[in-house]
Structure 1
Amino acid sequence: MNENQEYFLYLLSCKINNRKVEIYKEDVDWQEICNLANMHNLITIVFSAVNDLPSEFRPPLEIYNKLKKYVLLYAQKSARVDKLLQELIDTFEHKGLNHIIIKGYILKNYYPSPEYRSMTDVDILIKPQDRQKAHQIMMESGYENFIQEKTVWNYKKNKSHIEMHTQLIEKEIKQDIDYKKYFSNPWEHTQSLGREHSYTLNREYHLIYLLVHIAKHFYSCGCGVRMIMDIAVYLNKFDDLDWDYIWAELDKLDLRLLGQNILILCNKWFDTKLNFEYTIDQKFYDKLSETILLGGTFGFYNSNFRIAQIRNESKHNDSSKKARVLKQMIFPSYDEIIKLDQYKFLRGRKYLLGFAWIYRGFYQLKSRGIGSLGYVNSVLNSDKKIDEQREIMNKLGL
């Protein structure tokens, strides 16, 4: 990690531990820190840390004002999401629909200030047999259903997104572990949110799920700083977790090594001060930190997603793997492309897919110019990054 990346993590650590920023630096590259905050969807918490600094140590006015503008817009969005979700929960209660709220919307309330934890959507789990009942409620509540996949349907209203799941795990992570079966009975591991039909997962089970979710992201593309910070905040919130139970369950899932490494990052990055004797090789720690920092919120930056696709195409040789991924990049499937708002005209009109490919090609060239070919080049010359990803995955036990 360079000094700017270390300072970025220091600022985050101060805020989640409710401490004032006490280290001031004159040689900070605030543009790099701003880019990291943007990549990881952490501008609000970074802006709060910036305001702890004396004025002479703050970012240049242009950068400061950009951060401030984003924070004001996010505050409006957050208030809108809170209002819509409370209205939806009230409707679920009135209609008798049991539901479990998971991940971001629950986690943000564990931060010293909920605004520190940004969200892109709200995740809600329902029972499979309640799918149509939930769908009718969403439609009657004015939501648009824009994606229907097997176990998750996506809804939006006033630029707020709801993901309605019927399973906690949609895809397997390791071939020899049945993660879907392990998480097939989440209703036995819930705690009430103070309403008759509204729940979240209990403390230990939710932490295990969050670690499995991190494993899924590492497998598919990588995880970001916010996911690690969520774990640190969780551990700060609950200092009396049943660790014997947690480690036993992680052993069943073959994720003890991943869990140990995530906790080491929590200690090193966010000063959680967990009392354990796990160690990490410095070279691996540096590479893992760099990979997470440069990957963005969900690991999508630096072509990690496409490189992971190549890495996971184990049935094909390297050349055919790259060809398959390039084909998916240039000619995305109908199911993939309709997830994007700019191609919503395609929904229900699969016959226009060829036109959408042509439009997409011209749009990429117009908006990014020759730079749009960078993704193609990154796939063609991905051998070194694939080896690096495989090494990280092996050392994480994945």
Structure 2
Amino acid sequence: MDKIQKLFLNLLLPEPERGLLEDIEPGHKEWIFETAKAHSLFALVFSQIERFKNELNGGFYTAFTSSYKRAFLTSAVVSALQEKTEKEILSTLESSGIPAVVIKGNSLAKRIYGDPNSRTSTDIDILIKREDAERAEDALLSLGLEPEEDMPLRYCLSRIHHATYHHPETKQGVEIHWSFGIPYLFDLGSEDIWREVKRDAEGLSLSDEMTLLMLLIHHHSHSFRELRILTDILWVLHRLKNRSTGYRIEKLIEKAGLRKVYGLTIGQIQDVWPQVREDEKLNALFRISENMELPGVIKGYFTIRLEGQKGGVHLYRDKFIARFLLKNMGRTLTSFFRTLLPPAVAVEEIYGKSTILNHLRFILWRLKDWTGTGRKSHATSKKKSQDAP
């Protein structure tokens, strides 16, 4: 890792090393901006630069903020528009008797970073109870949103963890979640999640512990390649080190079947930010993963790089290997069979009838998707390929 990479990664820490902040020079401005933008971390980096402006090299602070403040304000406007839409949707769902929680975007940013403008999101992600999904769709349709083409609700309920809707005018995407990941990969159902939903002055929200589990599953679904998700997880752990016990977190991780995922993630955090090992309270949470021995080939495969790699470069191979980080080999093998052999309702929703021929068509689609040879068939965009099992 060269010097400028080390300086950049230090900026992402909840408590950056002050000496490294002073070492950032005006000439680093463009590289830091481009790298932050490539990893969808620009909003956080800008917020951190404002937060620690007194510790930074004055020339760098002035050069960076004068060059990129407009870009930050633009992202803040997008965030504000999303928040407006979120409130409208939550109000509509509430009036229909449907409890709902915003789980990502500026809501997540406000909770874990303390600044709603420090994390941007392309979609609005809202959590509901699984049994409310059909009524929630009716509520969204009343607001003018349209369901995603070729991904009807009954299909989504039978196969994945959310349904996607789009507003034809604003182009905003809304994902309605009833869980955090493909249901047969982890042992975390809608009921388990809602036991960790609490109400405060601002409404319903996930507990920090459940937010950690959500992000771990999100990291797994993106094959452990996204620096932004890893940064989110580090900041949640930073919150938890003073608010929760390792025992409680360990029990939740164990019950959900996330121990291997947690172990790999902690290893990545320690590799990317070696200085976090010096935080005794964080180390108490890191030790939860000590008894989980991961094969060296897997630990070495899932690395985070600042340059030359973005999440999803080897999407299909990564997703295949990530399956070996499920709770045990039985779960891994079962997951492949369940991906290939869908319930009848899924085939009916896609092809109209649940026939042997249509089941074979479905299996062929999944095999093509896994190998990357069928990405443009049957509406398998990159986003859908990440989501659809």
Say whether the fold is shared (TM-score over 0.5).
Answer: yes
1:111-163 deviation digits (Å, cap 9, x = unpaired): 13221122222221223332232122112223233343513221233233210
Closer, same or farther in 2 for the Cα pair 1:94/1:124, shift >3 Å?
same
Does residue 127 in structure 1 map to residue 151 in structure 2? no
Preserved CA contact (<8 Å) 2:24 2:57: no
| One-letter amino acid matched to 1:77 | V
Deviation at 1:242, TM superposition (A): 2.8
Closer, same or farther in 2 for the Cα pair 1:328/1:312, shift >3 Å?
farther
Deviation at 1:245, TM superposition (A): 2.3
| One-letter amino acid matched to 2:78 | K
CA–CA separation in structure 2 for the residues paired with 1:125 and 1:92: 11
Does residue 204 in structure 1 map to residue 248 in structure 2? no
CA–CA separation in structure 2 for the residues paired with 1:181 and 1:140: 31
CA–CA separation in structure 2 for the residues paired with 1:84 and 1:326: 35
CA–CA separation in structure 2 for the residues paired with 1:326 and 1:37: 28
CA–CA separation in structure 2 for the residues paired with 1:78 and 1:326: 34
Deviation at 1:78, TM superposition (A): 0.7
Q: Of the candidates 207, 232, 235, which is equivalent to residue 233 of structure 1? A: 235
Q: Identify the residue that residue 318 of structure 1 maps to in structure 2.
A: none
Does residue 3 in structure 1 map to residue 8 in structure 2? no
Q: Identify the residue that residue 385 of structure 1 maps to in structure 2.
A: none
Q: Identify the residue that residue 384 of structure 1 maps to in structure 2.
A: none
Preserved CA contact (<8 Å) 2:129 2:190: no
Closer, same or farther in 2 for the Cα pair 1:245/1:292, shift >3 Å?
farther
Q: Identify the residue that residue 360 of structure 1 maps to in structure 2.
A: none
Q: Of the candidates 162, 172, 183, which is equivalent to residue 174 of structure 2? A: 162
1:217-275 deviation digits (Å, cap 9, x = unpaired): 22xxx331221221222233332213212213323445334324434554662848213
Closer, same or farther in 2 for the Cα pair 1:286/1:137, shift >3 Å?
same
TM-score w.r.t. structure 2 length? 0.66
> Unaligned 5+ residue runs, structure 1?
174-178, 316-320, 341-398
Q: Identify the residue that residue 371 of structure 1 maps to in structure 2.
A: none
Q: Identify the residue that residue 378 of structure 1 maps to in structure 2.
A: none
Deviation at 1:71, TM superposition (A): 1.2
Q: Identify the residue that residue 109 of structure 1 maps to in structure 2.
A: 110
Preserved CA contact (<8 Å) 2:316 2:370: no
CA–CA separation in structure 1 for the residues paired with 2:368 and 2:306: 23
Aligned length: 315
Preserved CA contact (<8 Å) 1:169 1:183: no
Closer, same or farther in 2 for the Cα pair 1:213/1:202, shift >3 Å?
same
Closer, same or farther in 2 for the Cα pair 1:89/1:290, shift >3 Å?
closer
Q: Identify the residue that residue 275 of structure 1 maps to in structure 2.
A: 283
Q: Secondary structure at the match of 2:380?
A: helix
What percentage of aligned pairs have identical amino acids?
23
Preserved CA contact (<8 Å) 1:170 1:180: no
Q: Of the candidates 330, 333, 343, which is equivalent to residue 377 of structure 2? A: 333
Deviation at 1:293, TM superposition (A): 6.4
Q: CA RMSD in A?
A: 4.0
